[in-house]
Amino acid sequence: MLAVGNPSRGDDALGPQLLEYLQAKRLADVELLTDFQLQVEHVLDLVGRQTVVFVDAAASGPEPFAFYPVTPRRDASHSSHALSPQALLHTYGRLYGAPPEAHVLAIRGYDFGLGAELSRRARDNLAAAEAQLLEWLAAAR
């Protein structure tokens, strides 16, 4: 699992916060990585993986979260310092062949202000996303 987000920017901390919750559960066979944003170097973190879940906060979209499969696609972020999951998978494919199965868990956030804490609504969405993800992980085993 690879979560991105900035803990200093309110609801942008949703991804890293979810990984903290999961880390406390000590899930077998689940590796947890977090960073501020996806970068080309994260291709190396995908090597040897069968499945990856990208976790991030979403400033728009469905509430409380969206969970969907993602496939490789070159997009405008391929030349940026921050990649989309699709562009990261595309880069992986060019270097190593078929990428791992991948999903995005986009947890709806509302307040991304510098120094803000997680909003109440985002905390509720985080709890719902955690429950869904744990259910999905159990079914995948």
Find how far residue 58's CA is from the centre of its chain. 10
What residues form DSSP beta bridges with 107? Answer: 57, 65
Residue 119's pLDDT is what? 97
Helix/strand/coil for 39: coil
Contact 106, 64 (CB under 8 A): no
Residue 65 has pLDDT above 70, yes or no: yes
Q: Mean pLDDT in the chain? A: 93
pLDDT digits (tens, 9 = 90+) for 28-60: 889 999 999 999 999 999 999 999 999 999 999
- Among the residue ranges 30-44, 49-63, 72-86, 97-111, the one predicted with the least confidence is 72-86
Nearest in space to 67 (alpha carbons), one of 138, 136, 117: 136
Residue 82's pLDDT is what? 72
Residue 80 has pLDDT above 70, yes or no: no
Give the pTM: 0.93
Sign of CA dihedral 90, 33, 63, 112: negative
Residue 81's pLDDT is what? 52
What is the rounded CA–CA span in Å between residue 123 and residue 90? 32
Q: Which residue has the tokens 């070159």?
A: 74
